[in-house]
Protein backbone atom coordinates (compact mmCIF):
# COMPACT_ATOMS: atom_id res chain seq x y z
CA UNK A 1 0.00 0.00 0.00
CA UNK A 2 1.42 3.37 -1.10
CA UNK A 3 0.29 6.96 -0.51
CA UNK A 4 0.98 9.91 -2.82
CA UNK A 5 0.02 13.58 -2.82
CA UNK A 6 -2.56 14.46 -5.46
CA UNK A 7 -0.82 17.14 -7.49
CA UNK A 8 -0.46 20.35 -5.50
CA UNK A 9 -3.68 19.82 -3.57
CA UNK A 10 -4.11 18.91 0.10
CA UNK A 11 -5.46 15.49 -0.94
CA UNK A 12 -3.73 12.10 -0.86
CA UNK A 13 -4.09 9.04 -3.06
CA UNK A 14 -3.62 5.71 -1.28
CA UNK A 15 -3.10 2.76 -3.62
CA UNK A 16 -3.33 -1.01 -3.07
CA UNK A 17 -3.34 -4.15 -5.20
CA UNK A 18 -5.56 -5.94 -2.64
CA UNK A 19 -9.11 -4.89 -1.81
CA UNK A 20 -8.80 -6.41 1.67
CA UNK A 21 -6.57 -3.48 2.67
CA UNK A 22 -9.51 -1.16 1.99
CA UNK A 23 -12.24 -3.46 3.31
CA UNK A 24 -13.44 -1.09 6.05
CA UNK A 25 -13.53 1.99 3.81
CA UNK A 26 -15.10 0.17 0.86
CA UNK A 27 -17.83 -1.42 2.98
CA UNK A 28 -18.51 1.74 5.00
CA UNK A 29 -19.62 3.92 2.11
CA UNK A 30 -22.80 3.37 0.18
CA UNK A 31 -22.19 2.11 -3.34
CA UNK A 32 -24.21 3.52 -6.21
CA UNK A 33 -24.06 0.27 -8.22
CA UNK A 34 -23.28 -3.38 -7.64
CA UNK A 35 -20.35 -3.17 -10.07
CA UNK A 36 -18.54 -1.10 -7.42
CA UNK A 37 -19.66 -3.34 -4.56
CA UNK A 38 -16.98 -4.89 -2.31
CA UNK A 39 -18.10 -8.49 -2.77
CA UNK A 40 -18.46 -8.17 -6.53
CA UNK A 41 -14.98 -6.70 -6.93
CA UNK A 42 -13.61 -9.29 -4.49
CA UNK A 43 -15.08 -12.10 -6.58
CA UNK A 44 -13.15 -10.79 -9.61
CA UNK A 45 -9.96 -10.58 -7.54
CA UNK A 46 -10.45 -14.17 -6.30
CA UNK A 47 -10.92 -15.52 -9.84
CA UNK A 48 -8.98 -13.12 -12.01
CA UNK A 49 -9.55 -13.18 -15.76
CA UNK A 50 -6.52 -13.98 -17.86
CA UNK A 51 -3.97 -11.14 -18.15
CA UNK A 52 -5.95 -8.86 -15.81
CA UNK A 53 -5.08 -7.49 -12.38
CA UNK A 54 -7.01 -5.02 -10.18
CA UNK A 55 -5.81 -1.79 -8.59
CA UNK A 56 -7.71 0.10 -5.90
CA UNK A 57 -7.27 3.65 -4.60
CA UNK A 58 -8.71 5.96 -1.97
CA UNK A 59 -8.77 9.75 -2.25
CA UNK A 60 -8.38 11.20 1.23
CA UNK A 61 -8.24 14.57 2.93
CA UNK A 62 -6.36 13.80 6.12
CA UNK A 63 -8.37 10.80 7.42
CA UNK A 64 -11.59 11.61 5.58
CA UNK A 65 -12.34 9.40 2.54
CA UNK A 66 -13.57 11.50 -0.39
CA UNK A 67 -13.51 8.89 -3.15
CA UNK A 68 -13.06 5.23 -4.03
CA UNK A 69 -11.36 4.40 -7.34
CA UNK A 70 -11.30 1.06 -9.13
CA UNK A 71 -8.90 0.24 -11.96
CA UNK A 72 -8.05 -2.85 -13.96
CA UNK A 73 -4.64 -3.36 -15.55
CA UNK A 74 -4.81 -5.60 -18.62
CA UNK A 75 -2.46 -6.84 -21.30
CA UNK A 76 -4.22 -6.05 -24.57
CA UNK A 77 -3.45 -7.57 -27.95
CA UNK A 78 -5.61 -6.38 -30.84
CA UNK A 79 -4.79 -9.51 -32.82
CA UNK A 80 -6.24 -11.70 -30.05
CA UNK A 81 -9.13 -9.47 -28.99
CA UNK A 82 -10.49 -8.56 -32.43
CA UNK A 83 -12.26 -11.24 -34.43
CA UNK A 84 -11.53 -10.36 -38.05
CA UNK A 85 -13.39 -11.92 -40.94
CA UNK A 86 -11.76 -14.96 -42.49
CA UNK A 87 -10.94 -14.75 -46.17
CA UNK A 88 -11.96 -17.48 -48.60
CA UNK A 89 -10.50 -18.60 -51.92
CA UNK A 90 -13.85 -18.00 -53.59
CA UNK A 91 -13.86 -14.21 -53.17
CA UNK A 92 -14.82 -12.59 -56.52
CA UNK A 93 -12.30 -10.31 -58.21
CA UNK A 94 -14.46 -7.23 -57.66
CA UNK A 95 -13.94 -7.78 -53.91
CA UNK A 96 -10.15 -7.59 -54.27
CA UNK A 97 -9.77 -4.20 -52.61
CA UNK A 98 -12.08 -5.18 -49.75
CA UNK A 99 -9.96 -8.27 -49.27
CA UNK A 100 -6.77 -6.20 -49.38
CA UNK A 101 -8.17 -3.77 -46.78
CA UNK A 102 -9.04 -6.65 -44.47
CA UNK A 103 -5.57 -8.07 -44.88
CA UNK A 104 -3.96 -4.79 -43.81
CA UNK A 105 -6.40 -4.45 -40.93
CA UNK A 106 -5.39 -7.89 -39.68
CA UNK A 107 -1.72 -7.05 -40.19
CA UNK A 108 -2.03 -3.84 -38.15
CA UNK A 109 -4.07 -5.57 -35.44
CA UNK A 110 -1.35 -8.19 -34.98
CA UNK A 111 1.18 -5.39 -34.37
CA UNK A 112 -0.90 -3.60 -31.70
CA UNK A 113 -0.13 -4.86 -28.22
CA UNK A 114 0.16 -2.94 -24.95
CA UNK A 115 -0.62 -2.93 -21.25
CA UNK A 116 -3.48 -0.60 -20.29
CA UNK A 117 -4.82 1.00 -17.13
CA UNK A 118 -8.62 0.89 -17.26
CA UNK A 119 -10.80 3.15 -15.13
CA UNK A 120 -13.89 1.01 -14.80
CA UNK A 121 -14.84 -2.63 -15.11
CA UNK A 122 -14.30 -4.69 -18.25
CA UNK A 123 -16.79 -7.28 -16.95
CA UNK A 124 -19.72 -4.90 -17.27
CA UNK A 125 -20.85 -1.74 -19.04
CA UNK A 126 -21.13 1.65 -17.40
CA UNK A 127 -18.91 4.26 -15.67
CA UNK A 128 -18.13 2.14 -12.61
CA UNK A 129 -14.54 3.11 -11.93
CA UNK A 130 -15.13 5.60 -9.15
CA UNK A 131 -17.48 6.54 -6.34
CA UNK A 132 -17.30 9.84 -4.47
CA UNK A 133 -18.52 10.15 -0.89
CA UNK A 134 -18.99 13.90 -1.30
CA UNK A 135 -21.51 15.64 -3.51
CA UNK A 136 -18.96 16.81 -6.07
CA UNK A 137 -20.22 18.20 -9.35
CA UNK A 138 -19.31 16.53 -12.64
CA UNK A 139 -16.31 18.76 -13.34
CA UNK A 140 -14.85 18.19 -9.87
CA UNK A 141 -15.21 14.43 -10.21
CA UNK A 142 -13.47 14.57 -13.58
CA UNK A 143 -10.67 16.70 -12.12
CA UNK A 144 -10.07 14.25 -9.25
CA UNK A 145 -10.11 11.27 -11.61
CA UNK A 146 -7.59 12.95 -13.94
CA UNK A 147 -5.33 13.92 -11.03
CA UNK A 148 -5.45 10.35 -9.73
CA UNK A 149 -4.49 8.88 -13.11
CA UNK A 150 -1.67 11.39 -13.46
CA UNK A 151 -0.40 10.49 -9.98
CA UNK A 152 -0.50 6.75 -10.67
CA UNK A 153 1.54 7.09 -13.85
CA UNK A 154 4.02 9.45 -12.24
CA UNK A 155 4.73 7.58 -9.01
CA UNK A 156 3.23 4.08 -8.83
CA UNK A 157 5.87 1.44 -9.67
CA UNK A 158 3.28 -1.07 -10.90
CA UNK A 159 2.52 1.41 -13.73
CA UNK A 160 6.06 1.29 -15.12
CA UNK A 161 5.18 -0.93 -18.09
CA UNK A 162 1.66 0.47 -18.63
CA UNK A 163 1.51 2.69 -21.72
CA UNK A 164 -2.19 3.36 -22.29
CA UNK A 165 -5.08 4.63 -20.18
CA UNK A 166 -8.74 3.85 -20.93
CA UNK A 167 -11.66 5.51 -19.14
CA UNK A 168 -15.01 3.77 -19.71
CA UNK A 169 -18.18 3.99 -20.26
CA UNK A 170 -19.94 7.36 -20.01
CA UNK A 171 -23.52 7.99 -21.20
CA UNK A 172 -24.11 10.95 -23.50
CA UNK A 173 -25.21 13.32 -20.73
CA UNK A 174 -22.08 12.69 -18.65
CA UNK A 175 -19.35 12.81 -21.27
CA UNK A 176 -15.96 14.03 -20.10
CA UNK A 177 -15.09 17.57 -21.12
CA UNK A 178 -11.61 18.21 -19.70
CA UNK A 179 -10.16 14.70 -19.59
CA UNK A 180 -6.43 15.27 -19.66
CA UNK A 181 -3.55 14.63 -17.30
CA UNK A 182 0.19 15.14 -17.05
CA UNK A 183 1.51 12.15 -18.98
CA UNK A 184 -0.84 12.74 -21.92
CA UNK A 185 -1.27 15.33 -24.64
CA UNK A 186 -5.02 14.55 -24.63
CA UNK A 187 -7.59 11.78 -24.45
CA UNK A 188 -9.39 10.71 -27.58
CA UNK A 189 -13.12 10.16 -27.23
CA UNK A 190 -14.71 7.26 -29.09
CA UNK A 191 -18.07 5.53 -29.10
CA UNK A 192 -18.46 1.87 -28.28
CA UNK A 193 -21.46 -0.32 -28.99
CA UNK A 194 -24.48 1.02 -27.11
CA UNK A 195 -25.93 -0.62 -24.04
CA UNK A 196 -29.41 -2.00 -24.71
CA UNK A 197 -31.88 -1.05 -21.98
CA UNK A 198 -35.53 -1.87 -21.45
CA UNK A 199 -37.71 0.11 -19.04
CA UNK A 200 -40.10 -2.17 -17.18
CA UNK A 201 -43.65 -0.82 -17.14
CA UNK A 202 -45.82 -3.95 -17.07
CA UNK A 203 -47.51 -5.89 -14.28
CA UNK A 204 -47.13 -9.28 -15.97
CA UNK A 205 -45.46 -10.92 -18.95
CA UNK A 206 -48.88 -11.18 -20.56
CA UNK A 207 -49.22 -7.39 -20.27
CA UNK A 208 -45.82 -7.07 -21.92
CA UNK A 209 -46.89 -9.30 -24.84
CA UNK A 210 -50.19 -7.46 -25.24
CA UNK A 211 -48.32 -4.15 -25.59
CA UNK A 212 -46.57 -5.46 -28.72
CA UNK A 213 -47.49 -5.43 -32.38
CA UNK A 214 -48.98 -8.79 -33.36
CA UNK A 215 -46.02 -10.02 -35.45
CA UNK A 216 -43.60 -9.54 -32.56
CA UNK A 217 -46.01 -11.05 -30.05
CA UNK A 218 -46.59 -14.14 -32.21
CA UNK A 219 -42.86 -14.54 -32.79
CA UNK A 220 -42.15 -14.59 -29.05
CA UNK A 221 -44.88 -17.18 -28.47
CA UNK A 222 -43.31 -19.37 -31.16
CA UNK A 223 -39.94 -19.00 -29.43
CA UNK A 224 -41.47 -20.19 -26.17
CA UNK A 225 -43.05 -23.21 -27.85
CA UNK A 226 -39.68 -24.28 -29.25
CA UNK A 227 -38.02 -24.52 -25.86
CA UNK A 228 -40.86 -26.30 -24.07
CA UNK A 229 -38.99 -29.64 -24.06
CA UNK A 230 -35.97 -28.21 -22.18
CA UNK A 231 -35.73 -27.98 -18.40
CA UNK A 232 -34.84 -24.63 -16.83
CA UNK A 233 -33.07 -24.73 -13.47
CA UNK A 234 -31.57 -22.11 -11.16
CA UNK A 235 -28.16 -23.32 -9.96
CA UNK A 236 -26.63 -23.06 -6.52
CA UNK A 237 -22.94 -22.25 -6.00
CA UNK A 238 -22.13 -25.95 -5.57
CA UNK A 239 -24.02 -26.85 -8.75
CA UNK A 240 -22.17 -24.12 -10.65
CA UNK A 241 -18.92 -25.66 -9.42
CA UNK A 242 -20.10 -29.14 -10.44
CA UNK A 243 -20.91 -28.01 -14.00
CA UNK A 244 -17.94 -25.65 -14.38
CA UNK A 245 -16.41 -27.55 -17.33
CA UNK A 246 -19.68 -27.50 -19.28
CA UNK A 247 -20.19 -23.84 -18.38
CA UNK A 248 -16.72 -22.94 -19.62
CA UNK A 249 -17.32 -24.65 -22.98
CA UNK A 250 -20.67 -22.89 -23.48
CA UNK A 251 -19.13 -19.55 -22.51
CA UNK A 252 -16.28 -20.03 -25.00
CA UNK A 253 -18.82 -20.79 -27.74
CA UNK A 254 -20.14 -17.25 -27.39
CA UNK A 255 -16.79 -15.64 -26.69
CA UNK A 256 -15.29 -17.12 -29.87
CA UNK A 257 -18.00 -15.63 -32.09
CA UNK A 258 -17.89 -12.16 -30.54
CA UNK A 259 -16.35 -9.43 -32.66
CA UNK A 260 -14.28 -8.08 -29.78
CA UNK A 261 -13.04 -9.55 -26.50
CA UNK A 262 -10.72 -8.03 -23.93
CA UNK A 263 -11.55 -10.37 -21.03
CA UNK A 264 -11.25 -14.14 -20.77
CA UNK A 265 -13.05 -15.30 -17.63
CA UNK A 266 -11.47 -17.63 -15.11
CA UNK A 267 -13.24 -20.99 -14.82
CA UNK A 268 -14.10 -20.34 -11.17
CA UNK A 269 -15.51 -16.85 -11.68
CA UNK A 270 -19.22 -17.77 -11.56
CA UNK A 271 -18.78 -20.04 -8.53
CA UNK A 272 -16.84 -17.35 -6.66
CA UNK A 273 -19.40 -14.68 -7.55
CA UNK A 274 -22.32 -16.85 -6.41
CA UNK A 275 -20.60 -17.67 -3.12
CA UNK A 276 -20.01 -14.00 -2.36
CA UNK A 277 -23.15 -12.34 -3.78
CA UNK A 278 -25.67 -15.12 -3.07
CA UNK A 279 -29.15 -13.89 -4.10
CA UNK A 280 -27.76 -10.76 -5.73
CA UNK A 281 -26.33 -13.01 -8.45
CA UNK A 282 -28.67 -15.37 -10.27
CA UNK A 283 -27.47 -18.21 -12.48
CA UNK A 284 -29.81 -20.34 -14.63
CA UNK A 285 -29.25 -23.22 -17.03
CA UNK A 286 -31.31 -25.05 -19.66
CA UNK A 287 -30.93 -28.83 -19.83
CA UNK A 288 -31.95 -31.44 -22.40
CA UNK A 289 -32.10 -34.57 -20.27
CA UNK A 290 -28.79 -34.19 -18.39
CA UNK A 291 -26.98 -32.13 -21.02
CA UNK A 292 -26.56 -28.41 -20.35
CA UNK A 293 -27.38 -26.49 -23.52
CA UNK A 294 -27.31 -22.98 -22.14
CA UNK A 295 -26.60 -20.86 -19.10
CA UNK A 296 -27.36 -17.22 -18.40
CA UNK A 297 -26.95 -14.97 -15.40
CA UNK A 298 -27.85 -11.58 -14.03
CA UNK A 299 -26.94 -9.23 -11.20
CA UNK A 300 -29.30 -7.47 -8.84
CA UNK A 301 -28.19 -3.83 -9.17
CA UNK A 302 -30.81 -2.12 -7.04
CA UNK A 303 -33.73 -1.22 -9.30
CA UNK A 304 -31.85 -2.50 -12.35
CA UNK A 305 -31.64 -6.11 -13.52
CA UNK A 306 -28.17 -6.22 -15.04
CA UNK A 307 -27.75 -9.10 -17.50
CA UNK A 308 -24.38 -10.77 -17.01
CA UNK A 309 -22.54 -13.47 -18.95
CA UNK A 310 -24.18 -16.31 -20.84
CA UNK A 311 -23.24 -19.23 -23.03
CA UNK A 312 -25.12 -21.70 -25.21
CA UNK A 313 -24.76 -24.54 -27.66
CA UNK A 314 -24.66 -22.76 -31.03
CA UNK A 315 -25.64 -25.86 -33.03
CA UNK A 316 -28.91 -26.19 -31.08
CA UNK A 317 -29.69 -22.52 -30.62
CA UNK A 318 -31.96 -22.14 -33.66
CA UNK A 319 -33.83 -25.40 -33.09
CA UNK A 320 -34.78 -24.49 -29.53
CA UNK A 321 -34.67 -20.67 -29.93
CA UNK A 322 -32.40 -20.62 -26.89
CA UNK A 323 -31.17 -17.05 -27.01
CA UNK A 324 -34.60 -15.42 -27.61
CA UNK A 325 -35.94 -17.41 -24.65
CA UNK A 326 -33.13 -16.14 -22.45
CA UNK A 327 -34.32 -12.62 -23.27
CA UNK A 328 -37.91 -13.66 -22.47
CA UNK A 329 -36.81 -15.06 -19.12
CA UNK A 330 -34.86 -11.95 -18.18
CA UNK A 331 -37.90 -9.79 -18.95
CA UNK A 332 -40.16 -12.07 -16.90
CA UNK A 333 -37.70 -11.98 -13.99
CA UNK A 334 -37.63 -8.19 -14.12
CA UNK A 335 -41.43 -7.90 -14.14
CA UNK A 336 -41.99 -10.43 -11.33
CA UNK A 337 -39.29 -8.89 -9.13
CA UNK A 338 -40.41 -5.32 -9.91
CA UNK A 339 -37.19 -3.98 -11.40
CA UNK A 340 -37.50 -0.61 -13.09
CA UNK A 341 -35.04 -1.31 -15.89
CA UNK A 342 -33.19 -4.16 -17.58
CA UNK A 343 -29.62 -3.62 -18.74
CA UNK A 344 -29.18 -6.21 -21.49
CA UNK A 345 -25.59 -5.27 -22.37
CA UNK A 346 -24.19 -4.42 -25.77
CA UNK A 347 -24.25 -7.48 -27.97
CA UNK A 348 -26.94 -8.80 -30.36
CA UNK A 349 -28.36 -5.30 -30.69
CA UNK A 350 -31.02 -5.98 -33.30
CA UNK A 351 -32.72 -8.93 -31.62
CA UNK A 352 -32.72 -7.08 -28.30
CA UNK A 353 -34.40 -4.12 -29.96
CA UNK A 354 -37.07 -6.51 -31.29
CA UNK A 355 -37.90 -7.25 -27.64
CA UNK A 356 -38.25 -3.53 -26.94
CA UNK A 357 -34.78 -2.59 -25.71
CA UNK A 358 -33.43 0.78 -26.81
CA UNK A 359 -29.77 1.78 -27.23
CA UNK A 360 -27.95 4.07 -24.82
CA UNK A 361 -24.84 5.61 -26.36
CA UNK A 362 -21.65 5.09 -24.37
CA UNK A 363 -18.39 6.99 -24.75
CA UNK A 364 -14.88 5.96 -23.78
CA UNK A 365 -11.62 7.89 -23.58
CA UNK A 366 -8.15 6.65 -24.39
CA UNK A 367 -4.65 8.12 -24.41
CA UNK A 368 -1.08 6.91 -24.76
CA UNK A 369 1.38 8.16 -22.16
CA UNK A 370 3.76 9.15 -24.97
CA UNK A 371 2.60 12.37 -26.65
CA UNK A 372 4.25 11.22 -29.89
CA UNK A 373 2.35 7.91 -30.02
CA UNK A 374 -0.78 9.64 -28.80
CA UNK A 375 -1.02 11.55 -32.10
CA UNK A 376 -1.78 8.27 -33.89
CA UNK A 377 -4.47 7.05 -31.48
CA UNK A 378 -7.48 8.61 -33.33
CA UNK A 379 -6.49 7.01 -36.64
CA UNK A 380 -5.83 3.67 -34.98
CA UNK A 381 -9.25 3.75 -33.32
CA UNK A 382 -10.92 4.47 -36.66
CA UNK A 383 -9.10 1.46 -38.06
CA UNK A 384 -9.63 -1.05 -35.28
CA UNK A 385 -12.76 -0.23 -33.26
CA UNK A 386 -15.42 -2.72 -34.40
CA UNK A 387 -18.85 -1.43 -35.36
CA UNK A 388 -21.89 -3.66 -35.56
CA UNK A 389 -24.32 -2.71 -38.31
CA UNK A 390 -27.90 -3.29 -37.23
CA UNK A 391 -31.47 -2.14 -37.82
CA UNK A 392 -33.41 -0.88 -34.77
CA UNK A 393 -36.86 -2.42 -34.33
CA UNK A 394 -40.02 -0.91 -32.82
CA UNK A 395 -42.07 -3.83 -31.48
CA UNK A 396 -44.61 -1.94 -29.35
CA UNK A 397 -47.99 -0.61 -30.37
CA UNK A 398 -47.78 3.15 -30.89
CA UNK A 399 -50.11 4.06 -28.02
CA UNK A 400 -48.00 2.02 -25.54
CA UNK A 401 -44.77 4.06 -25.97
* 3-class secondary structure, 378: helix
Rounded-to-integer distance, Cα 132 and Cα 40, Å: 18
What is the b/e burial string over 168-196, where b = at least 16 CB atoms within 10 angstroms of the residue's CB? bbbeeeeebeebbbebbbebbbeebbbbb
Task: Report CA-CA distances (Å) from 213 to 16, 217, 356, 400, 401.
Answer: 53, 6, 11, 10, 12
pLDDT tens column, 229-282: 999 999 999 999 999 999 999 998 887 765 556 778 899 999 999 999 999 999
Of the candidates 344, 324, 347, the residue with the CA atom closest to the CA atom of residue 334: 344
Phi, then psi, of 162 in degrees rounded to 5: -95, 125
pLDDT tens column, 305-352: 999 999 999 999 999 999 999 999 999 999 999 999 999 998 889 999
Task: Report CA-CA distances (Å) from 45 to 17, 51, 128, 265, 294.
Answer: 10, 12, 16, 12, 26
Task: Work out the mean pLDDT of the chain and round it to a whole number.
Answer: 86
What does pTM read for this prediction?
0.87
Q: Which domains does the chain have, with CATH numbers?
A: 2-80+107-193+361-384 (3.40.630), 196-360 (3.40.630.30)
- Bridge partner list, 170: 363
Written in H, E and C, the secondary structure of 200-250 is CCCCCHHHHHHCECHHHHHHHHHHHHHCCCCEEEECCHHHHHHCHHHHHHH
Task: Say what the pLDDT of residue 184 is.
Answer: 43
Mean pLDDT of 54-73: 94
* pLDDT at residue 70 greater than cutoff 70: yes
pLDDT band at 48 (very low <50, low <70, confident <90, very high): very high
DSSP assigned state of 129: S
Strand bridging mode 188-199 / 358-368:
antiparallel
H or E element: which one contains 118?
strand 113-119
Task: Say what the pLDDT of residue 87 is.
Answer: 42
**193 Rama sector, left if φ>0, alpha if ψ -120 to 50, beta otherwise:** beta
Residue 102: CA count within 13 A, CB half-sphere: 13
- Which residue has better confidence, 30 or 334? 334
* 3-class secondary structure, 190: strand
* pLDDT at residue 91 greater than cutoff 60: no
pLDDT tens column, 191-239: 888 999 999 999 999 999 999 999 999 999 999 999 999 999 999 999 9
Rounded-to-integer distance, Cα 125 and Cα 170, Å: 9
Amino acid sequence: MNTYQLGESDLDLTVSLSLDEFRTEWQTYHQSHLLMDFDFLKSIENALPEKLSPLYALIKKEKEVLGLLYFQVIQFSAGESLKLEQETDELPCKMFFDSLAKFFKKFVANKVSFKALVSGNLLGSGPFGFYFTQDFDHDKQEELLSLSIETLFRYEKSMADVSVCLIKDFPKGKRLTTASSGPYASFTEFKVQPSMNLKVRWNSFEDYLNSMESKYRLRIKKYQQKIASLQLKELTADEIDFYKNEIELLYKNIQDQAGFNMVHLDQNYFYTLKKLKKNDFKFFAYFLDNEMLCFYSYLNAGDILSAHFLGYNKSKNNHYAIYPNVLCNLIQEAIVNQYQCIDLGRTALEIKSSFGAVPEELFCYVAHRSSWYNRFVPKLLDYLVPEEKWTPRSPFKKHTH
